[in-house]
Structure 1
Amino acid sequence: MEGRIIDVKGKKLYIEHNNPFEGRPAIVFLHDSLGSVQLWRDFPAKLSEAAQCNTFVYDRLGYGKSYPMLTHERPVNYMELEADLLNDLLTEMNIDNAILFGHSDGGTIALITAAKYPERVKAVICEAGHIFVEDVTLKGVYDAWEAYKTTNLPERLQKYHGDKVEILFKAWTETWTRDDYRTWNIEYLLKDITAPLLFIQGEADEYGTLDQVEKTITQVSGSAEKYIIPHIGHTPHKEVPELVLEKATAFIRENS
């Protein structure tokens, strides 16, 4: 799939858009806090083929092949701002029948986008997203910071993010562990989600408890279902891709 850089309100983002299925929705993939287009690997292509949908994948600003962030300092509402930018991006690309598939931070951004821009979103698949901060989340972030200092994690990330690694890693870890971020919560937005929702989570997710799932699916206004996978951690689409593909395909076919 050919990729390119586009300018969205002054932000230069790397995108890949594959549009083989005329008249079908586009699955928009939203990566996690250390992710990128490349790190999705072949999952978008496989889901596209199985669900007979088009795909749209992009690197958030500061990630992958997109242009760098100017600073690692983020406002508390940075994911709400990411949702606004996603709306601008989808407007630029003339995508108005999006099925959002977001992982971790990307899952949260998917929920916020569905709440704020319901006319654009056909369905939502939220994988391991967060709607509030938990102690287990902070432990996961601190563990990742320790790994960054003591292992070859920086070098592994550099393969995907180049010289942007230090800023994006600080942007993630320092934001989530700031005192003023402890009260971050998007539950107030959930009632505005009317699109069908599938929430996927590993039962052993090291970044969030099943409270994230339950409190989400019980507060949205549209139909919602959960898919909890035993013995699986924070990245089900990598740990058990065949299970996630099967469930996501069935959900998309039912809601498109």
Structure 2
Amino acid sequence: MSKITFKELFVEVEGGSIYIKKWIPETIKYTSPIVLMHDSLGCVDLWRDFPEQLARSLSCIVIAYDRLGFGRSSVNKNTPSVNFVWDEADFYFSHIKSAAQFSTYYLFGHSVGGGMSIGIAAVDKECIGVISESAQAFVEELTIKGIEEAQILFQRPDQMKRLKKWHGNKASWVLSAWIDTWLSQEYSSWSLESRIGKVTCPVLALHGDKDDFGSNAFPEYIAKNVSGESSMVILENCGHVPHKEKMEEVINHTRLFLKYFQP
């Protein structure tokens, strides 16, 4: 079994510092790392053992980071704007590349992290492949329903306690940044349309057939509208978190993607 070493670092950005973690296998097969983009309530630690298993199984470096306001990164003093998905590409990701010292790379984005991956790939041609997992392509009724149900769930003290475990005193901001933004009238017309056609690298859209936050219309839209090669995989009996529910399948699909699209 390949030995995995870890490297942790912080990078200073406007507004605070961002926490980054790297998983480095003893033997490296792919010179370009996989960068993980977390979901609306996520952080590095909430990827659990997926990054390590991915690094070990594929013999590649895996990098994850906490967006500003999440996990071990600094408090974000600003309320997310309607353009917050694009902000990751326009303001933050270049700092991650510089601090973690990589050039070409693959992106693996979960949920809103998938949309951010599309946004990054649209403007940075050093991105050589995107795997979007459970990504939203626009705001649909199922998305709103899932968020409204989560809003009720988080009225329970035990749920907020769990969120505070990962985000500390930032937990209320994290929850508000997700629910208030997505349920706002201003955000109701958001979609990937303005950037997705600029994505020329290969894209794989993964989606669970029982996802509570989006229908198969999302991966279909992504696969159809990028300008490069694309494919979609619908995972059976799978919800919104395939890398947890179907980890082996997700890793296998990632392996095939990298094998086929390795430069």
- Which TM-score band (shorter chain)? over 0.9
Cα deviations by residue, 1:78-135 (Å, 9 ceiling, x for unpaired): 01001221133213433211110010011110011001112x2011110011121011
1:90 corresponds to which residue? 97
| 2:54 counterpart residue number | 47
Cα distance change on mapping 1:204 and 1:151 into 2, 3 Å: farther
> In structure 2, how many angstroms separate the alpha carbons of the residues matched to 1:23 and 1:107?
22
Separation of aligned partners in 2, 1:188 and 1:166: 30
> Quick one: which of 174, 180, 193 aligns to 2:180?
174
* Residues 152-163 of structure 1 mapped to structure 2, 5 A cutoff: 152-163=158-169
Is the alpha carbon distance of 1:14 and 1:99 closer, same or farther for their aligned partners in structure 2, counting shifts above 3 Å? same
Rounded Cα–Cα distance in structure 1 between residues aligned with 2:114 and 2:8: 23
* Equivalent position SS for 2:154: helix
Residue 23 of structure 1, CA deviation: 6.6
Higher RCO (CA < 8 A, seq sep 6+): 1
Residue in 1 aligned with 2:214? 208
CA distance in 1: counterparts of 2:257 and 2:198, whole angstroms:
20
For residue 105 of structure 1, what is the aligned residue in structure 2? 112
- Report the Cα distance in structure 2 between the residues aligned to 1:10 and 1:166, rounded to whole angstroms: 18
Write out aligned runs for 1:96-245 (5 A).
96-118=103-125, 120-150=126-156, 152-245=158-251
The runs of at least 4 aligned residues of structure 1 exceeding 6 Å deviation read none
| Local SS of the residue matching 1:96 | coil
Contact persistence 1:187–1:216 (CA under 8 A): no
* Root-mean-square deviation over aligned CA pairs: 1.5
C-alpha contact (below 8 Å) 2:107/2:130 kept by paired residues: yes
Identity score, percent: 33
SS at match of 1:15: strand
Q: Is the 8 A contact 2:45 2:71 kept in 1?
A: yes
CA distance in 2, matches of 1:107, 1:194: 16
Offset at residue 67 of structure 1 (A): 0.5
TM-score, length basis structure 2: 0.92
Match of 2:74 among 67, 70, 73: 67
2:260 maps to 254
Matching residue's letter, 2:23:
N
Letter in 2 for 1:189: R
- Bigger Cα displacement from structure 2, 122-131 vs 90-99: 90-99
Q: Counterparts of 2:103 and 2:8 in 1: how far apart (Å)? A: 20
Structure 1 residue runs without a partner (length 5+): none
TM-score normalised over the length of structure 1:
0.95
What is the deviation of 1:171?
Answer: 0.9
Partners of 1:92 and 1:248 lie apart in 2 by: 25
2:3 alignment partner in structure 1: none
Aligned length: 254
Sort the Cα spacing of 1:2 and 1:89 in 2 relative to 1 into closer, same or farther, 3 A. Answer: closer
How far 1:188 sits from its partner (Å)?
Answer: 2.6
* Rounded Cα–Cα distance in structure 2 between residues aligned with 1:22 and 1:209: 35
Task: State the AA in 1 paired with 2:144.
Answer: L
Alignment partner, residue 16 of structure 1: 21
- AA in 1 matched with 2:145: K
Q: Which amino acid aligns with 2:102?
A: I
Give secondary structure in 1 for the equivalent of 2:215.
coil
Q: CA deviation at 1:10?
A: 4.6
| Long gaps (5+) in structure 2 | 1-5
- Farther-moved stretch of structure 1 (84-93 vs 30-39): 84-93
